[in-house]
Amino acid sequence: MSDITAFIDDKVKSNDVFLFMKGSPDFPQCGFSGQVVQILNYLGIDYGSANVLESQELREGVKAYTNWPTIPQLYVKGEFVGGADIVREMFQAGELQSFLSEKGIAVKQTA
């Protein structure tokens, strides 16, 4: 396992909710990352994040890790959930809130 794969694996498995994104939760640097941050913040979710813009190796490593071509990527309890479109659709349908609750993640708001 490469160093970057080990780093990604550690982040995904040691955080209940983890977001690989462009920018940071305080300063998202793309609209899609911003959407996912807004949803997680609205739901009051505690989550970790990593800025893929800080490392080309991380950016490419994340895409290879899930075989998913886009950023952001959201993980819950080690499981890949999806990118911005999937997270937004799940949130709007109420499925994200149910999914998080089933995984034992406290949700403070509901849509």
Q: What is the pTM of this model?
A: 0.94
Q: Mean of the pLDDT values across residues 81-109?
A: 94
May I ask the CATH architecture of the domain 3-102? 3-Layer(aba) Sandwich (3.40)
Q: Which residues are within 8 A (CB) of 65 and not within 5 positions of it... i.e. 6 or more apart?
A: 5, 8, 9, 12
- Give the confidence band of 109 by pLDDT, cuts at 50, 70, 90: low
Domain ranges of the chain: 3-102
- Alpha-carbon dihedral 38, 41, 46, 47, rounded to 10 degrees: 10
30 is an annotated ligand-binding site residue: yes
Place of tokens 């305080």: 26
What's phi and psi for 29, nearest 5 deg?
-110, 20
Q: Tell me the percentage of the chain whose pLDDT exceeds 70.
A: 96
What's the CA angle centered on 16, arms 12 and 22, to 5 degrees? Answer: 55
- For the cut 90, the answer to whether the pLDDT of residue 108 exceeds it is no
